[in-house]
Amino acid sequence: MVGGNAIRGTRVGAGPSGESERGESAPRRRVSYWCANGHESRPSFALDAEIPEEWDCPRCGLPGGQDSKNPPAAPRTEPYKTHLAYVKERRSDADGEAILAEALERLRQRRQI
């Protein structure tokens, strides 16, 4: 079947892709990072670039360090807090009882009218 799309199979920027087209690439070096699960990732950096101490593992997302025997620990994830948990952090039980009594009194006054 002959299609009506004459540029089928090509993409923007397609064509010869050599250094003569793009210019010379900067000299690079690869640095190894290991995560707590033992995965190794080897991103490349320009020779004059500052090398970060940690790099996120592309396989599991944990932070990776340059020491394979002592990788950084996984970050502690805080569990989801409910609205009630946040309120209990700000208010004591006595405060809660006082607010509840005040709200009930207002409700009783409205119902008497």
Between the CA of residue 36 and those of 28, 32, 53, 76, what are the distances in Å?
Answer: 26, 14, 15, 13
What is the per-residue pLDDT for 59? 94
Mean pLDDT of 30-57: 95
Biggest CA–CA distance in the chain, Å, is: 88
Residue 39 annotated as binding? yes
What is the per-residue pLDDT for 17? 56
Calculate the average pLDDT of the chain: 85
- Most confidently modeled of 15-24, 74-83, 98-107? 98-107
Q: Exposed/middle/buried for 64, CB within 10 Å: 0-12, 13-18, 19+? A: buried
Residue 57 annotated as binding? yes
Q: Which residue has the higher pLDDT, 66 or 88?
A: 66
Q: Is the pLDDT of residue 38 over 80?
A: yes
